[in-house]
Amino acid sequence: MTTVVPTPPPSHGRFATGFLETFRSLRWRNFRLFFSGQLISQVGNWLSLIAMTLLIYELTDSAFLLGLLAAAQFGPVLVIGPWAGLIADRYPKRTILLVVQSIAMLQSFALAALAFQPEPSLVAIYAVAFIGGLTIAFDNPARRSFVTEMVPESDINNAVSLNSALMTLSRVVGPFIAAFLIATVGFGWAFLVDGISYVAVLVALAMMRTAELRPSVAAARAKGQVRAGMRYARSVPELWIPLVMMAIVGTLAFNFNTVLPVFVNRSLGGDDVMFAVLLGVVSIGSFSGALATARRRSISIQQVAGCALAFGVAIGLLGLSPNLAIALPVGIAMGAASIAFMTASTAIVQIRSDPQMRGRVLALQSMVFLGSTPIGGPILGWVCEQFGARYGLAIGAVGALGAGFWGLRRSRGSEHYAVADREAEVAVEDAIEELAGDPEMPDSGPVEPAAVTGEPTGERRVPARP
């Protein structure tokens, strides 16, 4: 198929301002449609996420059942994540997104119908949550890699930055809107608004001009491609060490929707609204952490480990907070440390992945991060139920600290890598997009190459990719 290069609107000449430069990737029609649809839909996603968590907790008053909800939501990522990444490598990503987003819309409407009932069925809620987990498994690798197909290569950096800023906005705004809707009109309306929001992204995808897309080379059909992706990740230390750290931290520390509702309600004496506010504050911290991470000129395993240590300290301090007045500012620090850890680890994965393996490696990353939640969620839920939410936070702190110290130890003597500064920026911004937290970053222009290092020294060399 012949690729048609889209024609941008006429240049503004001397009237081109910094504002226009910041939003320059919106010149391209396909990305403009994508951005508009996602702007609405991603806020809606947060409405359902918050509403489902609080609905289960209100119906059951059980931290363990909150953990089972996390298992239902993210279990499919653990089971089919690598295969979903292979699908993203093999088939048109726009088609995948159309199918997945349609199913997700139906899921939100089903949740709304259940929430409007006087006595919602727990089994039905968990079943619908499981279907949502299936959509997450396929949506994550396809959506993240689709951004680069909608704009010319020269505008990829700007497009990823804008998409990251969009995700940040939804992460900060979504919990507060959810709190307002739940407190005023109830859970059902939060799910209904989310379902309606999918119309925007489906219309945007349908209106795209497929001839103007820049599809990446599809992975050829062959036996053992998923296993090959796993073996490839295992053979590259700069992929394997961050993935193991992410698995540990994802299992024990990234279970906010299981631990925080119990912590706010039982330990701090807050209500549903205060849980949403605390989660929103954590997201504000994520925004500031993204600012700091996006300005790094180097990425190393040591930095990933250091961020894990900072995350562990912040979780521990939150667990020691005596009241909401202390918990809120600590939540900002925890959010900053969490996004710094995930951004640094994802950036290395992005940089060191072979292009034809990237979809599978990103799916493997999602599997160890999101897919570890079904394991850690019920465990931490049981701990919170039996001993209190502060013990659940303590386990998360120990897990993050342990992962950080292990990463520092394993990174000793690792090889040294250099990448172009532009490649490093794109990798960082892709990582922030995944976790919904990045500021907009104008292109700073060509600079000296940035290093991705195992241990900092004066030498920088680029080894051959395996």
- Give the model's pLDDT for residue 311: 95
- Give the model's pLDDT for residue 405: 94
Identify the bridge partners of residue 299 per DSSP, sorted by sequence position.
452
Does residue 102 form part of some domain?
yes
- Give the model's pLDDT for residue 443: 33
Residue written as token pair 């049981």: 382
Closest CA to 464 of 423, 421, 424, 417: 417
| pLDDT-above-70 percentage for the chain | 73
Does residue 7 form part of some domain?
no
- Give the model's pLDDT for residue 225: 59
Read off the amino acid at residue 298.
S
Sheet holding 450-453, edge to edge: 298-300, 450-453, 417-419
Does residue 235 form part of some domain?
yes
What are the 10-residue block averages of pLDDT along the chain, 466 residues in total? 52 53 79 88 88 92 90 82 76 89 94 94 94 86 79 73 72 84 91 94 91 70 62 74 89 88 91 86 79 64 89 96 93 89 76 68 71 83 93 95 92 52 50 40 32 38 33
b/e string for 337-372 if b means 16 or more Cβ within 10 A? bbbbbbbbbbbbbbbbbeebbbbbbbbbbbbbbbbb
CB 284 within 8 A of CB 332: yes
CATH of the domain at 276: 1.20.1250.20
Does residue 48 form part of some domain?
yes
The DSSP bridge pattern shows strands 417-419 and 298-300 to be unpaired
CB 76 within 8 A of CB 104: no
- Give the model's pLDDT for residue 276: 84
- Give the model's pLDDT for residue 429: 52
| pLDDT-above-90 percentage for the chain | 31
At residue 23's C-alpha, the angle toward residues 95 and 435, to 5°, is 55
- Give the model's pLDDT for residue 446: 30
- Give the model's pLDDT for residue 298: 65
- Counted domains in the chain: 1
pLDDT, tens digit, 9 for 90 and up, residues 212-271: 887 766 555 555 556 676 777 776 777 788 888 988 998 899 888 889 999 999 999 888
Report the residue count for the chain.
466
Residue 318 exposure: Cα atoms within 13 Å on the Cβ side: 33
- Give the model's pLDDT for residue 149: 84
Residue written as token pair 């953990």: 67
Does residue 14 form part of some domain?
no
Q: What is the mean pLDDT of the chain?
A: 78
Does residue 252 form part of some domain?
yes
Torsion of CA 56, 58, 60, 64, to 10 degrees: 60
Helix (H) / strand (E) containing 417: strand 417-419
Does residue 460 form part of some domain?
no
pLDDT, tens digit, 9 for 90 and up, residues 24-41: 778 888 888 988 888 888
- Give the model's pLDDT for residue 368: 75
Is residue 320 classed exposed, middle or buried when 0-12, 13-18 and 19+ CB atoms within 10 A define those classes?
middle
Containing domain of residue 112, as a range? 20-209+225-453
Does residue 58 form part of some domain?
yes
Helix (H) / strand (E) containing 451: strand 450-453
- Give the model's pLDDT for residue 438: 32
